[in-house]
Amino acid sequence: MSAIDALCDFVGATRLIDVPDDVVARGRIVLADCIGCMVAGGIVPEVRQLIAHERAKSDVMEATALGTGERLHRGAAAFVNGTAGTWHDLDEGNLSTKTHAAIQIVPAAMAEAEAAGNSGSELLEAVILAYEASARLWRATTARLAVHPHGTYGPMAATLAVGKLRGIDPDKLANAAGMALTMGLAASRKTLNDGATIRNVYTGMSGRNGFEALALDEAGFSAETDAASSVLGSIYGSSFDASTAIADLGQTWWIRRNYFKRFASGRYTHGALDLVEKAKETSGASFTAHRIARIDVKTYFFASTLGQKSARTPFGVRFSIPMLMASHIIRGVAPLTDDCSAILNDPAVSELAQRIFVTESPDATAAYPDRQSADMIVAYHDGGTDRFSSDRTLGESDNPLSDQMLRNKFVELSGAVWGNSAEAAWDDMMDIDQVPDVGLMIDRWRTAIELE
C-alpha cells in the first residue's frame, strides 16, 4: 500500500468525533484565520480584477468570493479565495511539516461546502483531515530549495478535503489525489526575492486543480502507481520517505505544531522582528535609527536567505529582513493590510536597511525547526552595543498568540469588508461544528457586505 493509499484510508475512515478535542479546537482557529486572510485579500485591486475575469467565464454562481460577496463557480471561487488568502502573507503555517497546508485546503473546502450545503462539522472535519494527510506527505519530502511549497502538494490537499466532503470512497479518493499530485506547478521560491505576486496564484491553483482532479476521476482517468515517490521524491524533492508520512497516523497530529502570524511578512522574518520589538521595549524612545551604526542578525538558514537589503516591488518588502526591521524601527508596526508601498519608497528605511546584516548561524540551523533561534547585536555610533536573543518565534505552538490576539487579527482583516459583523463571523467560526449549513452562514456574511 502506498503512502497516498494509507492516508486516503485514514481520511475516509476518520470522523470528527475521533479527533482529539484540542485538535478540533485548533482546527476552528485555523479555519477562521484563513477566512480572515481570504476576506482581506479579496478587496485588493488585482484580486478584484481576477474575480471579474472569472465571473465573465461562467454563469454558474454557487460559491462566494469572500472579499466581495460575488458568486462564482466553485472551482473559480477556490481559485480567487486561495489567491486572496496569501496576498498579505498572513496565512498560518507549520515549520515542522514545512507547509502552509490550510490555505491550500480551506478555499476549496469552503467553496464545496457552500455549494453543496455541507454542515460546519463536515467542513471542519474535512479541513483537519486533509491538513494532516497533506502536511505529512510534504514533511516526508526532502524538498529542493528552489521550490516554493505553495501549489505543489496543494492540489492533492484540496482534493482530499473536497473528496471527504463528497463522501468519496477511499480508493477513488486515492486515484484523484494521485492525479492531483501530478497537477502541481513550477512553484519557484525565487518569486519571494523578486517580490513577484504570481506567488500568490500558486495557492489559488491548488484549489482549482483539486476540483479538476476529482472531475478527472469521475471521467475515468487514472493516476500513476505511486505519485508521491515520483513527484515528491524526484521532482519537487530529492527524496521521499513513505514511512515518515504514515508514522503514528491518528496518534500524532501535526496541526498541533502550526503557527499563526502577527506580521504581514514571510515567517522567516518574524524572529528578527520579535527582537526589534524586544529592543524597543527595553530601550524605549532611545532605540532610534540615528543612534544605530550597525545591526547584525544571526539566525537559521532559511531566515538567512531573506537577508537582501532592498526590494524590487512592495510585495518583495515582505521578504526582506533588513527592510522590515528598518521599517519597524523607523515607522513602527504597519497595519496588517498595508501594501508596503510606503516602506519601499521611504529613503530613511532604505538607508537603515543597508546597515543591517543577516547571516546564518550553524547552531541555529541545527536546532531548527524545534527552535527558531535569532540573535541580534546592535552597535551604536557612541560605541555602545546591545544584544537581544530569542529561541522561539511568537505565534509558534509553544509560544502562542493569545486567543484575543487571534480574534483581533480576524476582526482587523475582515472588518474592512464586514464592518461590525466581523465579530459575529468570528463567533460563527468558533461554533462552526454547530452550523447546520455552511451556505446559509456565508449568505449572512454576504448580507453584511451589502449592509456596509
DSSP 131-162: HHHHHHHHHTEEE-TTB-STTTSHHHHHHHHH
In a domain, 321, yes or no: yes
pLDDT of residue 451: 60
Q: How far apart are CA 104 and CA 119, in angstroms?
A: 20
Which residues have C-beta within 8 Å of that of residue 301, sequence separation ≥ 6? 360, 364, 365, 368
In a domain, 396, yes or no: no
pLDDT higher for 187 or 452?
A: 187
Q: How many domains does the chain have?
A: 2
Question: Which structural domain, as residue segments, surrounds residue 293?
Answer: 267-390
In a domain, 151, yes or no: yes
| Residue 37 in this model has a pLDDT that exceeds 80 | yes
Same domain as 9, residue 127: yes
pLDDT of residue 285: 82
Phi and psi of 342, rounded to 5°?
A: -65, -35
CATH code, domain with 345: 3.30.1330.120
| Residue 431 in this model has a pLDDT that exceeds 80 | yes
| Residue 452 in this model has a pLDDT that exceeds 70 | no
In a domain, 317, yes or no: yes
- Tell me the average pLDDT across 34-54: 97
CATH code, domain with 123: 1.10.4100.10
Q: How far apart are CA 239 and CA 166, in angstroms?
A: 32
In a domain, 395, yes or no: no
Please state whether the predicted TM-score (pTM) of the whole model is above 0.75. Answer: yes
Residue 395 near residue 291 (C-beta atoms within 8 A): no
Q: What are 82-127's pLDDT values in tens digits?
A: 999 999 999 999 999 999 999 999 999 999 999 999 999 999 999 9
Q: Tell me which residue of 110, 118, 100, 196 sits closest to 154, measured CA to CA.
A: 100
Q: Tell me which residue of 22, 31, 33 sits closest to 260, measured CA to CA.
A: 33
Same domain as 258, residue 277: no
